[in-house]
A and B are shown apart, each in its own frame.
Chain A
Amino acid sequence: MSNIESHTIAYVRDTMIPEQDPPITETGAIKWLRENLFSGWFNTILTLLSLAIIWWSVAAIGPWLWNMVWNAGSLRECRELLDGAQGACFAVINDRWHQLLFGFYPSSLYWRPTLALILLFVALAPILFPDLPRKMLWFSAVYPFLTYHLLWGGSVWLPIVALLGFVAGYVAWRLVTRISPLAAVFAAVIVPVLWWIVVAAPLDRFLFSGLPWGLEFVRSDRFGGFLISLVIGITGIAISLPLGILLALGRQSDMVFLKSVCVIFIEFIRGVPLITLLFTASLLLNYFLPPGTSFDLILRVIIMVTLFAAAYMAEVIRGGLAALPRGQYEAADALGLDYWKAQRLIIMPQALKISIPGIVNTFIGLFKDTTLVVFIGLLDPIGLSNAIRASTDWQGIYWELFIFIGVLFFVFCFGISRYSMYLERRLKTDHK
């Protein structure tokens, strides 16, 4: 064989031929295009269709955005400046941004909500990022009272006295717990309640008459714009989580009566639209309360929104609880932990971790739902956009206001959802 070969093959290459470049269709941008955009007739159609949609949107909105006007006193002036061309009149934002953000909050006091927002991030930081020093949590605990005073003002003593209620509860618990742990729990509940009902108001008045310190009082009806969305949304978020945990535990409980109460509450709230609950808050609450009582509309709305979110939260957390293997409960029992310790140390850390996406979705939903307060006459951004459109200067302006409001909501909600992804990654302990 080898003999024949050596005779028949006249030439054997003894050096490698130089490497050739890959075909032009298999490299760089063209390969990428072929693989990602034009890999088949169906994909090609989709690509062309998408390009058409993008082209059409840019052609429709592009020139309008390109010609935007930022400095004008009214829509008429804007149109004169544009001189017949299509253009966005963002001058309305320039003119009214303070209203969209703060409502009718006195303009000399804008620093107060702004400071409250900045401090919010300081207060949230130790909760969101565990690397920060734990002592900052003390500031987080004081933050709600501080913010109340910053936003509404009035007597500086009111939040302090309210805060003292918690201190009183703690002191009572420490004192009584040596006698009987059970009585201590009762004392820790009853003492603060008595403090707030009986002592707080007179003490506040007494201290204020002696030392009239405090910021200028701002009535609730001056609140508006994103300020109101944030106040309702953040308070609702903060309270609905613990409430939702309690409701979920109640629904999982062995106690038949407690369980059925929780089920009825959750199913009722989830079965009706939020707007009916808001109407209940604004129209019906006066029927259910003793004659003559009336309290702040914003507070009523916060209560209703919180209850609403808590019911959804309860279902999300119930899902997390149900996802835990039975063995976790049994292991907690085997370690001799009592119910609350087992929940706190074993069950909840895992269940909450599983339910993070659901919890965050509920938060985002709650924040978006704060726009519904426009139906009961609170001036949230959408309510204010209607008010601005009703003024003679800005009659007939739609898109610019919608874009501004939409972008602010988008930034907030998108930010939360990104944070939740970070949290999920960080808390991931399995090795998938």
Chain B
Amino acid sequence: MSTTSDLRTKSAPPKRSFELSMLLYDQRYRSITIQVFFLFLLMLFAAWLVDNTVNNLRALGRDFSFAFLNAPAGYDISQRPIEYNSQMTHGRAALVGLLNTLILAVMACALATVLGVIAGVLRLSNNWIVGRLMTVYVEVFRNIPTLLWILIFGAIMTEAMPAPSAFRGDDPSSTMLFNDAVAITNRGVWVPAIMFARDLGYFQLGPVAPSITWVLAILIIAASIWANKKLIDHATRVQNATGVRPKTWWKSILILLGPIALYFAVLGAHLQYPELRGFNFQDGIHLRNSLIAMWLGLGIYTGAFVAENVRSGILAISKGQTEAAFALGLQPGKTMRLVILPQALRVIIPPLISQYLNITKNTSLGLAVGYMDLRSTLGGITINQTGRELEGMLLMMLIYLAISLAISGAMNVYNSRVKLKER
């Protein structure tokens, strides 16, 4: 006892007064020193950049302003999801471009997901030939640049498809697909459009004018999905309380399809088929070659990456999980739905969303086939016409950044929701 008490310090360690060398050799202060030094360098660098920019702008006799967005654009855009003509402003053109970017991104994401899930699952199948075929798909598409794929699909559309005139005459060399519904030509693809006998018109929402008919349709579908979820929750509660799960499938079908079918019937929905008139097809929806090439190029290319994510997600679930589920007496279908998928999705979804992010950024390759996305409108023609590279590029980068941050924010929310609750 006495020795330990001797070793114990009788007072606090002697306080050293602060010395300048402690800034470097004392762990407590060193990080502050480094950071201050770093901050100093960074500020110096930023000041140098800003000073150069100001000087350069002054030398060129330019100011820094976004007023050009209100000037008339003077160029046409082939694919217009909202009303636009060349008399409208550069800002409006940029908005059209942004909408085109988003349309393409959503379409390509859907295609990539469908293809990726199918290819990823089939690559694991016992079927030798299917497995090999999917491996070839994944390896070939993953190892060749997207840009090349986009150009290849663009060339297939413009070079290998029949001209509209080939559909003419009594014995045409090409025919429309699906009972005269879809025409694939070298000027684009025509598909039927849904038209309404009693259209509800448009309403003005800031710069865009959405169709009331379609907004209502989307709201009805969303409400149906919500009601269906309530129904299933209720069935689960009943099952938990009584042990018997009430039959829900016909109620689900009724809730999901009934309201929207009724709505379409009331408004007199019908399909408007494309028709060959003059030198080209008319009516229906015209999907331009540029859109098709971008859609196929991005979708199939990214699908190969998604396939790998899906495959690794499924492989990540140990075999013991399946065996445990079988031991509990679950059927194979239920094993997949209740045990394997929820765990595999946790592995699959984060990389899947980063693939969505890649698709969104890769839409900026639209210029290669003349797709008028944000890069081609705001970052292309607008910049060339107004000479406002600095402002235009800055704005464009900020928009892309906002989209990316929104997507990755959604991913973080999802991740924190499905994260394993560990001790």
Contact = CB atoms under 8 A, between A and B. Distances in A.
A414 B304 CA distance: 14
B404 interface: yes
B39 A257 contact: yes
Interface string A376-392: 00000010000000000
A290 B148 contact: no
A291 B127 contact: no
Which of A37, A273, A288 has most B Cβ within 10 Å? A273
Interface string B362-393: 10110110000001000100010000011001
Contacts of B404: 270-272
A258 B34 contact: yes
Nearest to A33: B128
Given A287-B52, A368-B145, A374-B147, A257 B38 contact: yes
A249 to B, nearest CB: 13
Which of B39, B144, B362 has most A Cβ within 10 Å? B144
Interface string B54-95: 011101000000000000000000000000000000000000
A167 B150 CA distance: 48
B140 A261 contact: no
Contacts of B140: 410
B176 interface: no
Contacts of A289: 52
Contact of B143 (A50, A53, A274, A414): A414
Interface string B122-135: 10011111100100
Interface string A266-299: 0110111111100110011011111100000000
Nearest to B383: A283
B375 A275 contact: yes
B361 interface: yes
Given A37-B128, A270-B404, A368-B145, A398 B393 contact: no
Contact of B151 (A36, A275, A396, A402): A402
Interface of B: 24, 31, 34-35, 38-39, 42, 49, 52-53, 55-57, 59, 122, 125-130, 133, 139-140, 142-148, 151-152, 155, 159, 361-362, 364-365, 367-368, 375, 379, 383, 389-390, 393, 396-397, 400-401, 404-405
Contacts of A35: 126
A363 B274 CA distance: 46
17 contacts: A39-B127, A46-B125, A46-B127, A50-B133, A182-B24, A255-B31, A258-B35, A272-B361, A272-B397, A276-B379, A287-B56, A288-B56, A290-B52, A382-B148, A398-B159, A402-B155, A409-B145
A291 B56 contact: yes
Given A53-B133, A284-B393, A410-B140, A372 B152 contact: no
A53 B130 CA distance: 10
B34 A283 contact: no
**Interface SS, A side:** helix
Interface string A211-243: 000000000000000000000000000000000
Contact of B400 (A271, A283, A375, A409): A271
Nearest to A267: B405
B401 A37 contact: no
A257 B34 CA distance: 10
Contacts of B42: 261
A36 B396 CA distance: 52
B389 to A, nearest CB: 5
B155 A406 contact: no
A328 to B, nearest CB: 19
B57 A287 contact: yes
- Nearest first, the 7 A-B pairs at minimum CB distance are A271-B404, A413-B143, A368-B145, A273-B361, A273-B364, A271-B401, A36-B128
B148 A371 contact: yes
Contacts of A286: 56
Contact of B393 (A47, A54, A280, A409): A280
Contacts of A410: 140, 143-144
A275 B142 CA distance: 20
Nearest to A268: B401
Contact of B127 (A43, A54, A256, A279): A43
A78 interface: no
Nearest to B399: A272
A284 B64 CA distance: 14
B35 A409 contact: no
Contacts of B401: 268, 271-272
B126 A39 contact: yes
Which of B129, B145, B147, B375 has most A Cβ within 10 Å? B145
A43 B144 CA distance: 30
A290 B49 CA distance: 8
B328 to A, nearest CB: 25
A254 interface: yes
A410 B148 CA distance: 11
Contact of A417 (B122, B143, B362): B143
Contact of A257 (B35, B53, B56): B35
Given A261-B42, A375-B367, A409-B144, A37 B127 contact: yes
A370 to B, nearest CB: 8
A369 to B, nearest CB: 7
A203 interface: no
A53 B133 CA distance: 9
Interface in A396-412: 396, 398-399, 402, 405-406, 409-410
